[in-house]
Protein backbone atom coordinates (compact mmCIF):
# COMPACT_ATOMS: atom_id res chain seq x y z
CA UNK A 1 0.00 0.00 0.00
CA UNK A 2 2.94 2.21 0.70
CA UNK A 3 4.04 1.73 -2.87
CA UNK A 4 0.58 2.41 -4.14
CA UNK A 5 0.53 5.71 -2.20
CA UNK A 6 3.98 6.76 -3.38
CA UNK A 7 3.02 5.94 -6.97
CA UNK A 8 -0.05 8.13 -6.67
CA UNK A 9 2.11 10.90 -5.25
CA UNK A 10 4.63 10.66 -8.10
CA UNK A 11 1.90 10.56 -10.73
CA UNK A 12 0.13 13.54 -9.16
CA UNK A 13 3.29 15.64 -8.84
CA UNK A 14 4.20 14.91 -12.44
CA UNK A 15 0.75 15.90 -13.67
CA UNK A 16 0.85 19.05 -11.54
CA UNK A 17 4.26 20.04 -12.88
CA UNK A 18 2.78 20.13 -16.35
CA UNK A 19 -0.34 22.01 -15.38
CA UNK A 20 -0.62 25.73 -16.07
CA UNK A 21 -4.28 26.67 -16.07
CA UNK A 22 -6.90 26.77 -13.33
CA UNK A 23 -9.33 24.34 -14.99
CA UNK A 24 -6.75 21.55 -15.32
CA UNK A 25 -5.58 22.25 -11.78
CA UNK A 26 -9.10 21.82 -10.43
CA UNK A 27 -9.65 18.59 -12.32
CA UNK A 28 -6.31 17.21 -11.00
CA UNK A 29 -7.37 18.12 -7.47
CA UNK A 30 -10.61 16.18 -7.94
CA UNK A 31 -8.77 13.24 -9.51
CA UNK A 32 -6.32 12.84 -6.63
CA UNK A 33 -7.83 14.41 -3.54
CA UNK A 34 -11.57 14.47 -4.28
CA UNK A 35 -14.15 12.25 -2.49
CA UNK A 36 -13.93 9.76 -5.33
CA UNK A 37 -10.26 10.48 -5.93
CA UNK A 38 -7.36 8.03 -6.09
CA UNK A 39 -5.91 8.87 -2.67
CA UNK A 40 -9.30 8.57 -1.01
CA UNK A 41 -9.84 5.21 -2.72
CA UNK A 42 -6.60 3.92 -1.17
CA UNK A 43 -7.48 5.32 2.24
CA UNK A 44 -10.85 3.55 2.11
CA UNK A 45 -9.00 0.25 1.98
CA UNK A 46 -7.15 0.97 5.24
CA UNK A 47 -9.76 -0.99 7.18
CA UNK A 48 -8.10 -4.18 5.98
CA UNK A 49 -4.70 -3.31 7.43
CA UNK A 50 -3.15 -4.66 10.61
CA UNK A 51 -3.04 -2.56 13.76
CA UNK A 52 0.69 -1.91 13.31
CA UNK A 53 0.47 -0.98 9.66
CA UNK A 54 -2.57 1.32 9.96
CA UNK A 55 -0.89 4.32 11.73
CA UNK A 56 2.16 4.11 9.47
CA UNK A 57 0.11 4.10 6.30
CA UNK A 58 -2.26 6.67 7.77
CA UNK A 59 0.59 9.02 8.49
CA UNK A 60 2.08 8.53 5.04
CA UNK A 61 -1.30 9.12 3.38
CA UNK A 62 -1.78 12.32 5.38
CA UNK A 63 1.71 13.51 4.48
CA UNK A 64 1.09 12.90 0.80
CA UNK A 65 -2.31 14.58 1.01
CA UNK A 66 -0.71 17.58 2.71
CA UNK A 67 2.08 17.77 0.13
CA UNK A 68 -0.33 17.59 -2.78
CA UNK A 69 -2.63 20.19 -1.23
CA UNK A 70 0.31 22.55 -0.66
CA UNK A 71 1.50 22.05 -4.23
CA UNK A 72 -1.98 22.72 -5.59
CA UNK A 73 -2.33 25.91 -3.50
CA UNK A 74 1.09 27.16 -4.65
CA UNK A 75 0.24 26.43 -8.28
CA UNK A 76 -3.07 28.17 -7.94
CA UNK A 77 -1.35 31.35 -6.75
CA UNK A 78 1.27 31.11 -9.48
CA UNK A 79 -1.31 30.67 -12.25
CA UNK A 80 -3.39 33.55 -10.86
CA UNK A 81 -0.38 35.82 -10.95
CA UNK A 82 0.48 34.80 -14.52
CA UNK A 83 -3.08 35.47 -15.63
CA UNK A 84 -3.02 38.90 -13.96
CA UNK A 85 0.22 39.83 -15.72
CA UNK A 86 -1.16 38.65 -19.05
CA UNK A 87 -4.26 40.78 -18.50
CA UNK A 88 -2.22 43.85 -17.55
CA UNK A 89 -0.08 43.36 -20.62
CA UNK A 90 -3.17 43.26 -22.80
CA UNK A 91 -4.66 46.39 -21.19
CA UNK A 92 -1.48 48.39 -21.40
CA UNK A 93 -1.96 51.85 -22.91
CA UNK A 94 0.78 53.83 -24.53
CA UNK A 95 0.69 57.16 -22.76
CA UNK A 96 3.24 58.57 -25.18
CA UNK A 97 0.68 58.45 -28.04
CA UNK A 98 -0.88 61.75 -29.11
CA UNK A 99 -4.35 62.24 -27.63
CA UNK A 100 -7.51 62.59 -29.65
CA UNK A 101 -7.61 66.40 -29.61
CA UNK A 102 -11.12 67.84 -29.63
CA UNK A 103 -11.38 71.01 -31.65
CA UNK A 104 -12.96 73.78 -29.61
CA UNK A 105 -15.58 75.98 -31.23
CA UNK A 106 -15.45 79.76 -31.11
CA UNK A 107 -17.90 82.56 -30.72
CA UNK A 108 -19.57 83.45 -34.00
CA UNK A 109 -18.65 86.99 -35.17
CA UNK A 110 -22.37 87.89 -35.09
CA UNK A 111 -22.45 87.02 -31.40
CA UNK A 112 -19.18 88.79 -30.63
CA UNK A 113 -20.47 92.06 -32.04
CA UNK A 114 -23.96 91.58 -30.57
CA UNK A 115 -22.43 91.14 -27.11
CA UNK A 116 -20.32 94.28 -27.58
CA UNK A 117 -23.44 96.24 -28.49
CA UNK A 118 -25.46 94.74 -25.63
CA UNK A 119 -22.72 95.66 -23.18
CA UNK A 120 -22.64 99.27 -24.36
CA UNK A 121 -26.37 99.61 -23.70
CA UNK A 122 -26.34 97.62 -20.47
CA UNK A 123 -23.68 100.12 -19.35
CA UNK A 124 -26.22 102.87 -19.98
CA UNK A 125 -28.87 101.13 -17.87
CA UNK A 126 -30.78 99.28 -20.59
CA UNK A 127 -32.41 95.88 -20.16
CA UNK A 128 -32.52 93.18 -22.85
CA UNK A 129 -36.03 92.40 -24.14
CA UNK A 130 -37.22 89.79 -26.63
CA UNK A 131 -40.29 88.86 -28.62
CA UNK A 132 -41.48 86.07 -30.90
CA UNK A 133 -40.10 85.59 -34.41
CA UNK A 134 -43.48 84.23 -35.51
CA UNK A 135 -45.48 87.39 -34.96
CA UNK A 136 -48.96 88.80 -35.41
CA UNK A 137 -49.52 91.22 -38.29
CA UNK A 138 -50.85 93.53 -35.58
CA UNK A 139 -47.52 93.85 -33.74
CA UNK A 140 -45.30 93.81 -36.82
CA UNK A 141 -47.33 96.41 -38.78
CA UNK A 142 -50.71 97.64 -37.41
CA UNK A 143 -49.58 98.78 -33.97
CA UNK A 144 -46.53 100.44 -35.54
CA UNK A 145 -48.76 102.71 -37.57
CA UNK A 146 -48.38 100.65 -40.76
CA UNK A 147 -51.97 99.82 -41.82
CA UNK A 148 -52.83 97.15 -44.37
CA UNK A 149 -52.53 99.41 -47.42
CA UNK A 150 -49.38 101.26 -46.31
CA UNK A 151 -46.56 101.30 -48.91
CA UNK A 152 -43.98 100.46 -46.19
CA UNK A 153 -45.36 96.93 -46.29
CA UNK A 154 -44.09 96.48 -49.84
CA UNK A 155 -40.49 96.98 -48.81
CA UNK A 156 -40.87 94.45 -46.01
CA UNK A 157 -42.49 91.53 -47.78
CA UNK A 158 -42.25 88.47 -45.63
CA UNK A 159 -43.37 84.89 -45.10
CA UNK A 160 -46.99 84.61 -44.03
CA UNK A 161 -48.21 81.77 -41.85
CA UNK A 162 -51.80 82.95 -42.47
CA UNK A 163 -53.63 86.31 -42.85
CA UNK A 164 -52.80 87.38 -39.33
CA UNK A 165 -49.52 85.64 -38.55
CA UNK A 166 -46.15 86.13 -40.21
CA UNK A 167 -42.40 85.93 -39.67
CA UNK A 168 -41.52 89.35 -38.25
CA UNK A 169 -39.77 91.68 -40.70
CA UNK A 170 -38.22 93.85 -37.99
CA UNK A 171 -37.57 93.84 -34.26
CA UNK A 172 -39.83 96.90 -33.87
CA UNK A 173 -42.84 94.77 -32.77
CA UNK A 174 -40.92 94.12 -29.54
CA UNK A 175 -41.37 97.85 -28.78
CA UNK A 176 -45.12 97.33 -28.75
CA UNK A 177 -44.96 94.17 -26.65
CA UNK A 178 -42.72 95.88 -24.09
CA UNK A 179 -44.93 98.99 -23.88
CA UNK A 180 -48.06 96.82 -23.47
CA UNK A 181 -46.51 94.98 -20.55
CA UNK A 182 -44.41 97.58 -18.80
CA UNK A 183 -45.07 101.02 -17.39
CA UNK A 184 -42.53 103.78 -18.15
CA UNK A 185 -39.71 104.42 -17.47
CA UNK A 186 -38.71 101.93 -20.18
CA UNK A 187 -35.18 101.46 -21.41
CA UNK A 188 -34.64 98.30 -23.46
CA UNK A 189 -32.82 96.89 -26.42
CA UNK A 190 -34.25 93.89 -28.26
CA UNK A 191 -31.89 91.93 -30.48
CA UNK A 192 -33.22 89.11 -32.66
CA UNK A 193 -33.75 87.40 -35.97
CA UNK A 194 -35.97 88.98 -38.60
CA UNK A 195 -37.18 87.74 -41.97
CA UNK A 196 -37.91 89.13 -45.40
CA UNK A 197 -38.58 87.36 -48.66
CA UNK A 198 -35.41 88.65 -50.27
CA UNK A 199 -33.30 86.76 -52.79
CA UNK A 200 -30.03 85.54 -51.33
CA UNK A 201 -26.99 87.47 -52.54
CA UNK A 202 -23.80 89.01 -51.13
CA UNK A 203 -25.74 91.66 -49.18
CA UNK A 204 -29.18 90.07 -48.71
CA UNK A 205 -30.51 87.14 -46.79
CA UNK A 206 -34.12 86.13 -46.03
CA UNK A 207 -33.00 85.83 -42.40
CA UNK A 208 -30.91 88.48 -40.70
CA UNK A 209 -30.56 90.20 -37.34
CA UNK A 210 -31.66 93.54 -35.96
CA UNK A 211 -31.25 95.28 -32.66
CA UNK A 212 -34.13 97.46 -31.55
CA UNK A 213 -33.91 100.15 -28.90
CA UNK A 214 -36.69 101.87 -26.98
CA UNK A 215 -36.75 104.51 -24.28
CA UNK A 216 -40.00 105.90 -22.85
CA UNK A 217 -40.27 108.26 -19.91
CA UNK A 218 -41.49 111.70 -18.96
CA UNK A 219 -39.68 114.49 -20.77
CA UNK A 220 -37.68 112.43 -23.29
CA UNK A 221 -36.63 114.61 -26.22
CA UNK A 222 -34.79 114.41 -29.50
CA UNK A 223 -31.62 115.54 -27.73
CA UNK A 224 -31.75 112.41 -25.52
CA UNK A 225 -31.97 110.38 -28.72
CA UNK A 226 -29.04 112.20 -30.30
CA UNK A 227 -26.86 112.05 -27.21
CA UNK A 228 -27.54 108.35 -26.60
CA UNK A 229 -26.85 107.28 -30.17
CA UNK A 230 -23.74 109.40 -30.40
CA UNK A 231 -22.34 107.79 -27.26
CA UNK A 232 -23.26 104.37 -28.62
CA UNK A 233 -21.57 104.92 -31.98
CA UNK A 234 -18.42 106.36 -30.37
CA UNK A 235 -18.17 103.37 -28.04
CA UNK A 236 -18.64 101.01 -30.99
CA UNK A 237 -16.40 102.73 -33.55
CA UNK A 238 -14.04 104.82 -31.42
CA UNK A 239 -14.22 108.16 -29.65
CA UNK A 240 -13.10 110.10 -32.72
CA UNK A 241 -16.04 108.90 -34.84
CA UNK A 242 -18.13 111.63 -36.45
CA UNK A 243 -21.88 111.08 -36.43
CA UNK A 244 -24.60 112.79 -38.44
CA UNK A 245 -28.38 112.70 -38.25
CA UNK A 246 -30.24 112.84 -41.55
CA UNK A 247 -34.01 113.41 -41.75
CA UNK A 248 -35.91 110.32 -42.84
CA UNK A 249 -39.34 108.77 -42.56
CA UNK A 250 -40.54 105.79 -40.56
CA UNK A 251 -44.25 105.32 -39.92
CA UNK A 252 -43.79 104.61 -36.19
CA UNK A 253 -41.56 107.58 -35.34
CA UNK A 254 -42.04 111.33 -35.76
CA UNK A 255 -39.70 112.99 -36.42
CA UNK A 256 -37.48 110.24 -37.85
CA UNK A 257 -33.85 110.18 -38.84
CA UNK A 258 -31.15 107.97 -40.22
CA UNK A 259 -27.79 108.04 -38.51
CA UNK A 260 -24.53 107.92 -40.46
CA UNK A 261 -20.96 107.69 -39.29
CA UNK A 262 -18.19 109.37 -41.26
CA UNK A 263 -16.42 106.69 -43.30
CA UNK A 264 -13.65 105.25 -41.11
CA UNK A 265 -11.81 104.01 -44.16
CA UNK A 266 -11.41 107.26 -46.16
CA UNK A 267 -12.29 109.82 -43.47
CA UNK A 268 -15.09 111.24 -45.60
CA UNK A 269 -13.30 111.71 -48.93
CA UNK A 270 -15.19 108.90 -50.57
CA UNK A 271 -14.04 105.33 -51.22
CA UNK A 272 -15.31 101.88 -52.12
CA UNK A 273 -16.43 101.08 -48.56
CA UNK A 274 -18.71 104.16 -48.34
CA UNK A 275 -19.65 103.95 -52.02
CA UNK A 276 -18.04 107.36 -52.53
CA UNK A 277 -20.49 109.01 -50.14
CA UNK A 278 -18.03 109.71 -47.33
CA UNK A 279 -20.68 108.49 -44.85
CA UNK A 280 -21.90 105.07 -43.81
CA UNK A 281 -25.48 104.55 -42.70
CA UNK A 282 -25.70 102.80 -39.32
CA UNK A 283 -29.29 102.92 -38.12
CA UNK A 284 -32.80 104.31 -38.25
CA UNK A 285 -34.37 106.17 -35.35
CA UNK A 286 -36.91 108.71 -34.22
CA UNK A 287 -39.27 109.91 -31.52
CA UNK A 288 -41.95 107.27 -30.86
CA UNK A 289 -45.10 108.31 -32.76
CA UNK A 290 -47.91 109.43 -30.41
CA UNK A 291 -50.26 107.01 -32.18
CA UNK A 292 -47.97 104.12 -31.28
CA UNK A 293 -47.81 105.18 -27.62
CA UNK A 294 -51.60 105.49 -27.57
CA UNK A 295 -52.11 102.02 -29.09
CA UNK A 296 -49.96 100.62 -26.28
CA UNK A 297 -51.98 102.38 -23.57
CA UNK A 298 -49.35 105.05 -22.83
CA UNK A 299 -50.60 108.65 -22.67
CA UNK A 300 -48.58 110.72 -25.20
CA UNK A 301 -49.49 113.87 -23.29
CA UNK A 302 -47.57 112.57 -20.29
CA UNK A 303 -44.86 110.41 -21.81
CA UNK A 304 -42.57 110.60 -24.79
CA UNK A 305 -39.87 108.30 -26.07
CA UNK A 306 -37.37 107.49 -28.75
CA UNK A 307 -36.62 104.33 -30.68
CA UNK A 308 -33.94 103.04 -32.99
CA UNK A 309 -33.18 99.97 -35.02
CA UNK A 310 -29.99 98.70 -36.60
CA UNK A 311 -28.92 95.75 -38.69
CA UNK A 312 -26.31 93.55 -37.05
CA UNK A 313 -24.87 91.90 -40.18
CA UNK A 314 -23.76 95.15 -41.79
CA UNK A 315 -21.86 96.18 -38.66
CA UNK A 316 -20.18 92.78 -38.42
CA UNK A 317 -19.26 92.75 -42.11
CA UNK A 318 -17.70 96.19 -41.87
CA UNK A 319 -15.79 95.42 -38.71
CA UNK A 320 -14.20 92.27 -40.10
CA UNK A 321 -14.06 93.26 -43.76
CA UNK A 322 -16.40 90.48 -44.82
CA UNK A 323 -17.66 91.10 -48.34
CA UNK A 324 -20.27 88.34 -48.62
CA UNK A 325 -23.09 88.00 -46.10
CA UNK A 326 -23.62 84.33 -46.97
CA UNK A 327 -20.33 83.47 -45.25
CA UNK A 328 -21.95 84.38 -41.93
CA UNK A 329 -24.53 81.59 -42.21
CA UNK A 330 -22.56 78.78 -43.80
CA UNK A 331 -20.74 77.95 -40.57
CA UNK A 332 -17.65 76.83 -42.42
CA UNK A 333 -15.04 76.50 -39.66
CA UNK A 334 -12.27 77.63 -42.02
CA UNK A 335 -14.10 80.96 -42.22
CA UNK A 336 -15.15 81.16 -38.57
CA UNK A 337 -11.67 80.32 -37.25
CA UNK A 338 -10.39 83.61 -38.59
CA UNK A 339 -12.20 85.68 -35.98
N1 LIG B 1 -37.62 98.73 -38.12
C2 LIG B 1 -36.91 99.56 -39.05
C3 LIG B 1 -36.46 98.75 -40.25
O4 LIG B 1 -36.46 97.55 -40.19
C5 LIG B 1 -35.69 100.18 -38.39
C6 LIG B 1 -36.08 101.23 -37.39
C7 LIG B 1 -36.17 102.56 -37.78
C8 LIG B 1 -36.38 100.90 -36.09
C9 LIG B 1 -36.54 103.54 -36.90
C10 LIG B 1 -36.74 101.89 -35.18
C11 LIG B 1 -36.83 103.20 -35.61
O12 LIG B 1 -37.02 101.62 -33.90
O13 LIG B 1 -37.17 104.16 -34.72
O14 LIG B 1 -36.17 99.30 -41.26
Query: How sure is the predictor about 35, in pLDDT bands with cuts at 50, 70 and 90?
Result: confident
Q: Are 281 and 258 spatial neighbours (Cβ–Cβ below 8 Å)?
A: yes
d(CA 275, CA 263): 10
Name the 3-class secondary structure at 284: strand
Task: Indicate which atom in ligand 1 lies nearest the CA of residue 213.
Answer: 12
Nearest CA to ligand 1 atom 5: 309
d(CA 64, CA 44): 15
Residues 59-72: pLDDT tens digits?
A: 888 888 888 888 88
Q: What is the mean pLDDT of residues 230-249?
A: 95
List the helix and strand counts (H, then E) for the chain: 12, 9
**CA 267–ligand 1 middle distance (angstroms):** 27
User: Per the confidence metrics, is the pTM higher than 0.85?
Assistant: no
Q: Is the pLDDT of residue 33 over 90?
A: no
Nearest CA to ligand 1 atom 7: 284
User: What backbone phi and psi angles, to 5 degrees, belong to 239?
Assistant: -60, -25
- If one residue of 126, 170, 194, 257 were mutated to test the ligand 1 pocket, choosing by the most ligand atoms within 8 A of its CB, it would be 170
Q: Domain spans of the chain?
A: 2-90, 109-336
CATH T-level assignment (fold) for domain 109-336: BirA Bifunctional Protein; domain 2 (3.30.930)
Q: Is 309 in the pocket of ligand 1 (CB under 6 A)?
A: yes
Amino acid sequence: MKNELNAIKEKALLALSECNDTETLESLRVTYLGKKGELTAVLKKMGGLSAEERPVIGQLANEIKGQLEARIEALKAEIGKKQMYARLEKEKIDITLDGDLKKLGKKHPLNTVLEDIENIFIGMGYKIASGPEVEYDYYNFEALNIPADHPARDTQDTFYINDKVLLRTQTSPVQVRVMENQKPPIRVIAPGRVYRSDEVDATHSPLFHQIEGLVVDKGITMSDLKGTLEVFIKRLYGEDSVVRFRPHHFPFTEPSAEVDVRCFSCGGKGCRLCKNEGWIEILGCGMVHPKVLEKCGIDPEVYSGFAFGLGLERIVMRRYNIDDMRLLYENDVRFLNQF
